[in-house]
Structure 1
Amino acid sequence: MKRIFYLSCLVLLTVSCISNKRITYLQNLSDSTAIELDEFIPFAEVEYKYVLQPFDIVQIDFASADPELVEGFTFLNEPQNLGMRGGGGGGAGSDPLYMTGFSIDQDGMVEIPKLGKLRIAGLTEEEAKQLVQREINEYFKEEVFVRLRIAGIRYTTLGEFNSVGVQIIYKNRATIFDALANSGETSLLAKKNKLFLIRQYDNGTKIHQINLNDRALLGSPWYFIQPNDILYLEPMRIRQIGTADNLTASLALIAGLLASVLLIVNLVSGEL
């Protein structure tokens, strides 16, 4: 009877353990070229550049030596302390630039006071800036400087993240690890070797699979995220027993019940 008890405990212990190899980032995996510490890792050459899309929000600022020239181009004052905000609200949906930025409509047009509607969808940030600059140069003889940029990098997290929903990083460039940190890291039961990145391109969408365990990710085309990316992490099969938070408690309860049953069976057998 004791053998059955010890064997049951061993089985439960084995089930409850998650291999360290499955949860550790940036390993030198056997199927990839080893990258040593302090070794220089060049960024991947990626031809793809993000182009503005319908429903994007852009921030457009105007500056001139004569402040009166640019007063008519703004709806509201710029949000206070925007530069102090480092990341998204974990799906809370609060975004000051939704109210103060310029939204691109479903036809790819953005409406700017005095200039009217301009088609900027399908253009890069720099191309859109040049377009607005040309239009405003036609409107004014005096020099007016235009600054146009995407209002942060918006992306969505789904699955085994500690914070799921729409996230925002107020930076011009962000890595996949910036995105993970900004969304509260992954849960213990996330399949880190199967992160699905859903990315929008000019004419459609592609799904890319990323292995967070592999150090070669640092030199891959998916090391940097793009606006409107969707990150989805699958759960491990062990989630069927319990979540990362209650898995240990669930296994302890099962082990306790099993020990009680075996004790009762042993007592009854001894009396017989």
Structure 2
Amino acid sequence: MSRLILFSFVLLFGVSCISNKRITYLQNLPENEPIGLDEFIPFAEYEKNYILQPFDVVDIDFASANEELTKAFEFQGSRNMRMGGAGMMGAGDMFFLTGYALDSEGNVDLPRLGKIKIGGLNEEQAKLKVQEAINEYFKDEVYVRLRIGGIRFTALGEFSSSGTKTILKHRATIFDAISMAGESNILAKKNKLFLIRQYDGGSKIHQINLNDRALLASPYYFIQNNDILYLEPMKIRQFGNAENFSASLGLIISVTTSLLLLFALVTGNL
């Protein structure tokens, strides 16, 4: 009987134990050169200026000493909505309501100026192109401000709060995104975070290892607008989620122990 109890405890330990190596962020993995504490880690080459794509939403605002000029170039009430409605709905939503959406060909349709192609340009290049268009329309100086309404990304899989999120920054790391989506639970494969990134004319899937300290020098350390993050669950997930996992294991061990005890009684080993 003592052997049966010992076997049950060994089974419980073996099934329920998840190694810290699978759940700890930013480790020095054996296959990589170790990165010590306080060691300087230069950023990898990455696209610092997001390239505008079809269906993106940009906020375009105008300023001039002549207030009547600026009113001619914005939709009625959009400025008041930005000032008064941001507190009620959140700044990220206001960009969608008051901003300008690029069409399928990358054009933005502005009052009086008509369609201007800014797809394929970064923010500064797009701003200059709109500035050139308005300078041809008016001799008076009109200042143009163009920006993306934060970094929008989608989190799916083993996050505590999945869905589409908006980080109101011009630059954000993968850990900013994870923090906003809710840190992944213990049953997530932190070595298999899939990043689906939009490129000109298509998408690519990249795999990220959150356990790896070398991630800090990866070109995917910084997220971009329209990124999709999918965090895969461990195979052990089939036994239950993080909240009921212990209860599921307890049930499995109880059933196993009962079957072993019954077998021992039948075979006369007790």
Shift of the alpha carbon at 1:111?
Answer: 1.0
Which aligned pairs between 1:104-183 and structure 2 lie closer than 5 A? 104-183=102-181
Shift of the alpha carbon at 1:262?
Answer: 5.6
Shift of the 263–244 alpha-carbon distance from structure 1 to 2, 3 Å rule, reads: same
Which aligned pairs between 1:214-229 and structure 2 lie closer than 5 A? 214-229=212-227
1:2 paired with 2:5, answer: no
- Between 1:124-133 and 1:67-76, the stretch displaced more is 67-76
Alignment partner, residue 92 of structure 1:
none
Shift of the 80–182 alpha-carbon distance from structure 1 to 2, 3 Å rule, reads: farther
Q: CA RMSD in A?
A: 2.4
Amino acid at match of 2:222: F
Shift of the 114–86 alpha-carbon distance from structure 1 to 2, 3 Å rule, reads: closer
2: CA distance between counterparts of 1:60 and 1:262?
Answer: 71
* Unmatched tracts of structure 2, length 5 or more: none
> For 2:205, what is the secondary structure of its paired residue?
strand
Question: TM-score w.r.t. structure 1 length?
Answer: 0.89
Alignment partner, residue 63 of structure 2:
63
2: CA distance between counterparts of 1:60 and 1:267?
Answer: 80
* Unmatched tracts of structure 1, length 5 or more: 89-94
Shift of the alpha carbon at 1:266?
Answer: 7.1
> For 1:208, what is the secondary structure of its paired residue?
strand
Alignment partner, residue 189 of structure 1:
187
Q: Residue 137 of structure 1 contacts residue 143 of structure 1 at CA under 8 Å; is this kept in 2? A: yes
> For 2:222, what is the secondary structure of its paired residue?
coil
Shift of the alpha carbon at 1:181?
Answer: 0.3
Shift of the 268–30 alpha-carbon distance from structure 1 to 2, 3 Å rule, reads: closer
> For 2:72, what is the secondary structure of its paired residue?
helix
2: CA distance between counterparts of 1:269 and 1:44?
Answer: 65
- Aligned pair count reads 265
2: CA distance between counterparts of 1:48 and 1:27?
Answer: 26
2: CA distance between counterparts of 1:19 and 1:134?
Answer: 59
Question: TM-score w.r.t. structure 2 length?
Answer: 0.89
Instruction: Write the deviation string for residues 149-208 of structure 1: whole angstroms up to 9, x where unpaired.
Output: 111111111111112121111110000000000101112111111111111111322111
Amino acid at match of 2:150: G
1: CA distance between counterparts of 2:19 and 2:85?
Answer: 44
